[in-house]
A and B are shown apart, each in its own frame.
Chain A
């Protein structure tokens, strides 16, 4: 693949695009999502961060699939995205219900399961 890219005339840095780069991106995305989930209090933003974590995982899978020339990873990602979408619908429905109870999107409102 690298020879193909070189023949296409891309700059040298792009020739050295290894698996590590993609995994780095995936990791960074995941961390951002995690940190966002842990620090934000708005339910919708928290959900957005979970979606981000999903995508990071999907990216990692696609990267592995491309670099090992194995279709399994990519087909797995299709499933993941589908499930993520369905789950998004569920989660947003729950958020709407929660909002109706407390008129607020603050996650800190819900502490009744304490102890």
Chain B
């Protein structure tokens, strides 16, 4: 389907392609170290190692990978470098450019890649250390299996992020999906975990249809699936889009980003493919923290950021992304407000924050979205790991109606601190990292004209986020101390728990001499000492170290907003991370988005015109009008027009507005869940429940989305499959059996001749002879 136009384009592009700058060959260690980890863990499994060696080997391998990533970062100067690995696929069936499929195992090192790999490998190292203690119950074969899958996951993520062509990205994409399946289904004896793993994998695959189609169309149109060639070939289309002539861009090129976005929605749990993520909490908590908070789910965001030039060529792709993100954020926040399982609340929170990131990409702040990815990775991992520590220590208890005051219990101080820091970031309390990154997205939503409704949706969601986050905090971390062990007590403790459950009622009955509220108090006090012989298991050094490190990093991450860009001449405001993102293909305002691999970094023209309402020159000031799709916005930051927030510059206004919204949410949570609460099970919120009754029930049941999918897809498919089964059994098998039956039938007809009677045989012989004679007679008489 290569038209002559596109071939011409390709020809021009290839002619104009500058030589490749070779990247640091050491970067190949980043995918190689996790593979080494896989091999070590497999060997441990084969040799039946029964201690924590696989965990520490993993931590070591990943730490080395992180070190290499840091070294590459330090040696990077902002341009694109390609490290060639080995030739993976090289097929040619003709001479022309469109008749070659080249996909090498090469690494595309630009600043976006390096940014991603830094936090992926860093978090992976920390979480592996955490997991070494968390999974210590399973030491032996299960332990090795866990860490092997963990390492394989990091390898796949590295391929995804660092690959220089879409096929390697796809390899990584599928690899992370596989490892997610393996790790969610780690407790394979539990049916709910197995079901959740299957659900995650299958929903990912549904999104993958879009991704695959996008990659195929890319190859068909551009003749190549390597990023540098695609970006080079995009130049003429970018010129067209700059001039606003979207009708001249071929429909295929406009379709590609939409398909890629579908793939991203599947992987990053957006509407309508988000239902797998809350169920994925069946996996062990380190898995939830690494895969379903920080890394795998950001792969979708990475895909969109990496192929951003393609997204800018389509009129509808970015609005689709923005609206999907915003609606998902809102929906997930409403569900999260009504859940009782703290891990599930965090899962819905992840879905919601991912919605923020996609909305950010859609409103043209890829820098803000990437910054939010980084900060979210840290504080969400922190929150999940804290929840995991609670789950680990209280034998699987995660219900916030059964836990209270954990932060004050002995040995749980660091967990409490971790939760506090994480919740502060998530809710967007001013001067935390989460506040700054969320602000960038919120502000941009109001700056980009036509996206203001999205801004309002995100603002409302921010308020809800603050509410449900601090609902968890006020119920679980602070307040009167109370706990109940969860379901994972060992056998003998189960008896104790069962006894206590009976004793509980007996307790209330026997204490007739106490008034009821005293009864409650003694209950609370007695419970602080435990039920039966259950004592909460405070976290050990590994978990505490990791939580403390992450808390510190989350606090320090706020400083990234004020740090200088590591490369010279950065335009984007927002500090170091946006400074890195803008040098990559993800940024659209600067000349770097048109940057073919290997060109020396162009100098920045400070075209500089301030918007009439004082938009900062940092955004999109180029001598030429900024390139922005006309369907989304008129020239962003140019003199013409820029969105405003009730007349104020959105960037400045957002500092205050989001802070206020956050505090309102926290205040409501305080009133409803902390003030006046004496026990774990109820709070003032419960008094309001009758008033909002049915709505809360619906939210608690996740708006029945799973049931809707059952109705739309599962039951029809069930009927269809049973119908086909019947057809197969009756019609097709029937046909085969018919063919088998014919000889049998004929045999049945002929069988009576074998009667066993001598006279019968004799008669047969005589008849045969007679027939023969007759024939001979007739024939010779002719």
Contacts and interface: CB of A to CB of B under 8 A. Distances in A.
B753 to A, nearest CB: 10
A37 B759 CA distance: 8
Contacts of A115: 751, 754, 756
B766 interface: yes
Nearest to A50: B762
Interface stretch (A12-20, A70-78, A103-111): A103-111
A38 interface: yes
B755 interface: yes
A96 interface: no
B357 to A, nearest CB: 79
B762 A38 contact: yes
Nearest to A115: B754
A111 B759 contact: no
A39 B763 CA distance: 10
B756 A112 contact: yes
B756 A38 contact: no
B758 interface: yes
B763 A38 contact: yes
Contact of A111 (B757, B763, B766): B757
Given A34-B766, A38-B766, A113 B759 contact: no
B759 A107 contact: yes
Contacts of B758: 107-108, 110
Contacts of B756: 110-115
Contacts of A110: 756, 758
A114 B759 contact: no
Nearest to A41: B759
Interface in B733-762: 751, 754-759, 762
Contacts of B762: 37-38
A37 B765 CA distance: 12
A108 B757 contact: yes
Q: For the side of the interface on A, what is the size category?
A: 10 to 19
A115 B747 CA distance: 10
Interface in A73-115: 107-108, 110-115
Nearest to A37: B762
Nearest to A113: B756
Contacts of A108: 757-759
A114 B766 contact: no
Which of A38, A107, A110, A112 gathers the greatest number of chain B CB atoms within 10 Å? A38
Contact of B754 (A37, A38, A114): A114
B763 A113 contact: no
Contacts of B763: 38
Nearest to B763: A38
A114 B751 CA distance: 9
A26 to B, nearest CB: 15
A115 B758 CA distance: 13
A34 B765 CA distance: 11
Contacts of B766: 34, 38
A39 B754 CA distance: 19
Contacts of A111: 755-757
Nearest to B758: A107
Contacts of A39: 759
A23 to B, nearest CB: 14
A58 B314 CA distance: 107
Interface string B316-341: 00000000000000000000000000
A38 B764 CA distance: 10
A34 to B, nearest CB: 6
Contacts of A107: 757-759
B506 to A, nearest CB: 79
A37 B762 CA distance: 8
A115 B759 CA distance: 15
A30 to B, nearest CB: 11
A30 B398 CA distance: 105
Nearest to A43: B758
Contacts of A34: 766
A33 to B, nearest CB: 11
Contacts of B757: 107-108, 111
Interface in A17-75: 34, 37-39, 41
A112 B754 CA distance: 10
Nearest to A46: B758
A113 B761 CA distance: 11
Nearest to A108: B757
A34 B773 CA distance: 16
25 contacts: A34-B766, A37-B762, A38-B759, A38-B762, A38-B763, A39-B759, A41-B759, A107-B757, A107-B758, A107-B759, A108-B757, A108-B758, A108-B759, A111-B755, A111-B756, A111-B757, A112-B756, A113-B754, A113-B756, A114-B754, A114-B755, A114-B756, A115-B751, A115-B754, A115-B756
Given A38-B763, A39-B759, A115-B754, 4 more contacts: A37-B762, A41-B759, A108-B757, A111-B755
Interface of B: 751, 754-759, 762-763, 766
